[in-house]
C-alpha cells in the first residue's frame, strides 16, 4: 500500500508539473486577472513579515516564477533568497526575473521531499501548498517549523476552502464573477478551471490548527478575501 501511495503522489506531481510548465510564459500576466485584490494578497504578508537583521535567509516553497519572492526582496534587498519549485519552466522565468541578483539561488525539486541542509529566518509560500493532500500539508508545516531559526516566521498565502459547502459555493461564485470582469478570455478561464481540478483545498481553521500543532506561535490568518488567505506562524524563541 505504501508503494501504491508513493506512485500516486509521483503521478500527481507529474501532472502538476506538466500543467505549470505549460502556462509558465503567461503565469505572471494572468495572476492579476485570476486573483481578486492581487496586490493585497502579496503586500499584506510582505508588510507583516518581521525578521531579525536586514539580511535574512529566506526560503520560498513552490516559488513558481518568483512573484512572492520579488515582493520580499523589495523589502529585504540584502536577503539570501532560495527558491524551490517542481516546474523547470517556471524556475527559468524566476532566474530571468532575478538575473541581476547574486544573492538568489534556485532549486528544481519537490519541496515536500527535498532534503534541506540549512535553516532559515523566513519561509514563504504562495498558491502552492493547496496542491498537497491534507497529510502532506501538515507535514510541510512541520518541516517548515523545523527549518526555521528561533524567532523565524512562516507565511503561506494560498487558496483555501470555505468553512461549509454553502460558503464555498459563494466564494467560488464571487471568484468567477471577478475573473469574468478582469478581461481574462473564456478559454483561459476554462483552462484555469481545469487546473483547479488538481487542487486540494483545506479550510483556514484546519490549517491554523495544523500550524499550532507543528509548534508555531502567533498563529493567525492575517488576511482573507473569499478563497484567498494568508496564514502565518512564528517559531518561538522560547
Domain ranges of the chain: 2-234
Distance (Å, whole) CA 108 – CA 91? 7
Distance (Å, whole) CA 15 – CA 160? 21
Which are the contacts of 22, defined by CB distance < 8 A and separation ≥ 6?
A: none
Q: What grid cell was written down for 108?
A: 528544481
pTM: 0.87
DSSP 3-state assignment of 216? Answer: coil
DSSP state of 47: H
Is 169 buried (19+), middle (13-18) or exposed (0-12) by CB count in 10 A? exposed
Q: What grid cell was written down for 69?
A: 519572492
Of the given ranges (18-22, 124-128, 134-138, 186-190), which has the lowest mean pLDDT?
18-22
Distance (Å, whole) CA 19 – CA 27? 11
Cα three-residue angle 80-88-99, rounded to 5 degrees: 45
Of the given ranges (16-20, 91-95, 124-128), which has the lowest mean pLDDT?
16-20
The CATH code for residues 2-234 is 3.40.50.150
pLDDT digits (tens, 9 = 90+) for 142-160: 999 999 999 999 999 999 9
pLDDT at 195: 78
Of the CA atoms within 13 Å of residue 234, those in its CB half-sphere come to 13
Is 130 buried (19+), middle (13-18) or exposed (0-12) by CB count in 10 A? buried
pLDDT digits (tens, 9 = 90+) for 64-123: 999 999 999 999 999 999 999 988 888 999 999 999 999 999 999 999 999 999 999 999
Classify each residue of 196-222 as buried b or exposed e, where b means 16 or more C-beta atoms within 10 Å of its C-beta. Answer: eeeeebbbbebbbebbeebbbeebebe
pLDDT digits (tens, 9 = 90+) for 169-215: 999 999 989 988 888 888 888 887 887 787 899 999 999 999 999 99
Q: What are the strands of the beta sheet with 148-159, ordered from one edge? A: 104-108, 80-85, 57-61, 120-126, 148-159, 228-234, 217-225
Q: Are strands 228-234 and 104-108 parallel, antiparallel or unpaired?
A: unpaired
Of the given ranges (37-51, 126-140, 182-196), which has the lowest mean pLDDT?
182-196
pLDDT at 205: 98
Amino acid at each position: 500500500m505504501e508503494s501504491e501511495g508513493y506512485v500516486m503522489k509521483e503521478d500527481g506531481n507529474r501532472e502538476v508539473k506538466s500543467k505549470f510548465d505549460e502556462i509558465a510564459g503567461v503565469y505572471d500576466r494572468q495572476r492579476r486577472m485570476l486573483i481578486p485584490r492581487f496586490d493585497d494578497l502579496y503586500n499584506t504578508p510582505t508588510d507583516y513579515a518581521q525578521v531579525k537583521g536586514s539580511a535574512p535567509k529566506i526560503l520560498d516553497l513552490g516559488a513558481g516564477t518568483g512573484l512572492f519572492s520579488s515582493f520580499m526582496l523589495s523589502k529585504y534587498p540584502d536577503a539570501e533568497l532560495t527558491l524551490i519549485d517542481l516546474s523547470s519552466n517556471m524556475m527559468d522565468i524566476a532566474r530571468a526575473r532575478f538575473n541581476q541578483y547574486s544573492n538568489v539561488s534556485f532549486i528544481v525539486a519537490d519541496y515536500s521531499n527535498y532534503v534541506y541542509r540549512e535553516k532559515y529566518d523566513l519561509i514563504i509560500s504562495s498558491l502552492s501548498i493547496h496542491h498537497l493532500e491534507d497529510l502532506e500539508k501538515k507535514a510541510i508545516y512541520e518541516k517548515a517549523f523545523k527549518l526555521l531559526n528561533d524567532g523565524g516566521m512562516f507565511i503561506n498565502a494560498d487558496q483555501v476552502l470555505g468553512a461549509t459547502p454553502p460558503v464555498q459555493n459563494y466564494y467560488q461564485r464571487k471568484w468567477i464573477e471577478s475573473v469574468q470582469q478582469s478581461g481574462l478570455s473564456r478559454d483561459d478561464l476554462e483552462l484555469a478551471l481545469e487546473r483547479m481540478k488538481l487542487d486540494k483545498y483545506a479550510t483556514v481553521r484546519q490549517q491554523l490548527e495544523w500550524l499550532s500543532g507543528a509548534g508555531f506561535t502567533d498563529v493567525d490568518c492575517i488576511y482573507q478575501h473569499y478563497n484567498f488567505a494568508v496564514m502565518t506562524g512564528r517559531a518561538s524563541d522560547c
